[in-house]
Amino acid sequence: MRISVAQINFHIGNFEKNKGLICDAIDKAKADKADLVIFSELCVPGYPPLDLLDRIDFIEKCSSAVYEIALHCKGITAIVGSPTINENPQGKKLFNSALALSEGRIVFSANKALLPTYDIFDEYRYFEPGKRFSVFEFKGLRLAITICEDLWDEQHFDNEFEKRRLYTISPMDELVKQHPDLVINISASPFSHSRIESKAEIFKTKARKYGIPVIQVNQTGANTELIFDGASMIINSRGEMWRRLPFFEEAFFSFDTSDIFAGNDPVGDIRTGHVELMHKALVTGIRDYFSKTGFTSCILGLSGGIDSALCLALAVEALGNQNVRALLMPSTYSSEHSIKDAVDLANTLEVKYDIVSIEKPFTAFGEILEPLFHGMKSGITEENIQARIRAVILMAVSNKFGSILLNTSNKSEASVGYGTLYGDMAGGLSVLGDVYKTEIYKLARYINREREIIPQNSITKLPSAELKPDQLDTDSLPEYSILDEILYQYIELQKPADKISGNGIERATVDKVIFMINYNEFKRYQAPPVLRISSKSFGDGRRLPLVARY
441: left (phi over 0), alpha (psi -120 to 50) or beta: alpha
Q: How confident is the model at residue 542 (pLDDT cuts 50, 70, 90)?
A: confident
The domain made up of 2-272 has a fold known as: Nitrilase/N-carbamoyl-D-aminoacid amidohydrolase (3.60.110)
Return the percent helix, strand and coil in the chain, to nearest 5. Answer: 40, 20, 40
Share of the chain above pLDDT 70, in %: 96
Q: Which of 112, 411, 523, 536 is catalytic?
A: 112
Q: Say if residue 353's pLDDT is above 60.
A: yes
Fill in the DSSP letter of residue 436: -
SS3 160: helix
Report in angstroms the alpha-carbon separations of 66 from 82, 106, 211.
8, 9, 33
The band of 265, judged by pLDDT with boundaries at 50, 70 and 90, is low
Instruction: Calculate the dihedral angle through the C-alpha atoms of 455, 458, 459, 461, rounding to the nearest 10 degrees.
Output: 130
pLDDT tens digits along 162-217: 555 677 789 999 999 999 999 999 999 999 998 888 899 999 999 999 999 999 99
| Stretch 100-113: mean pLDDT | 97
Eight-state DSSP code of residue 409 = -
Of the pLDDT bands very low, low, confident and very high (cuts 50, 70, 90), residue 461 is confident
Residue 19 is among the residues annotated as catalytic for this protein: no
Other Cβ atoms closer than 10 A to 268:
10
Amino acid found at 533: I
Amino acid 336: pLDDT: 80
Range of weakest confidence among 70-74, 110-114, 193-197, 214-218: 193-197
Q: Is 177 assigned a catalytic role?
A: no
Half-sphere exposure of 34 (CA within 13 A, CB side): 24
Q: Percent of the chain at pLDDT above 90?
A: 84
Choose among 92, 33, 99, 87: nearest CA to 62.
Answer: 99
CATH superfamily of 278-477+520-525: HUPs (3.40.50.620)
Asked whether the predicted pLDDT for residue 324 surpasses 90, the reply is yes
**Region 440-450 average pLDDT:** 97
HSE (side-chain half, CA atoms, 13 Å) at 489:
18
Among residues 43, 62, 73, 148, the one annotated as catalytic is 148
Residue 379 three-state SS: coil
Measure the CA–CA gap between 387 and 424, rounded to whole angstroms: 6
Structural contact between residues 21 and 8, judged by C-beta atoms closer than 8 angstroms = yes
**Mean pLDDT within 106-117:** 96
DSSP per-residue string spanning 124-150? GGTBPPP-----EEETTEEEEEEEGGG
DSSP code per residue over 463-523: P---SSTT--GGGTS--HHHHHHHHIIIIIS---GGG---TT--HHHHHHHHHHHHHTHHH
Q: How far apart, in Å, are the Cα atoms of 437 and each of 197, 414, 425, 509?
A: 23, 11, 16, 18
* 112 in active site: yes
Higher pLDDT, 456 or 166: 456
pLDDT in the model for residue 263: 65
E strand segments, 155-267? 182-187, 214-218, 220-223, 226-229, 233-235, 241-244, 251-256
* Residue extents of the structural domains in the chain: 2-272, 278-477+520-525
List, in order, residues 6 or more apart from 382 with CB less than 8 Å away: 366, 468
Neighbour tally for 304: CB within 10 Å: 26
Please pick, among 41, 123, 383, 485, the residue that the annotation labels catalytic. 41
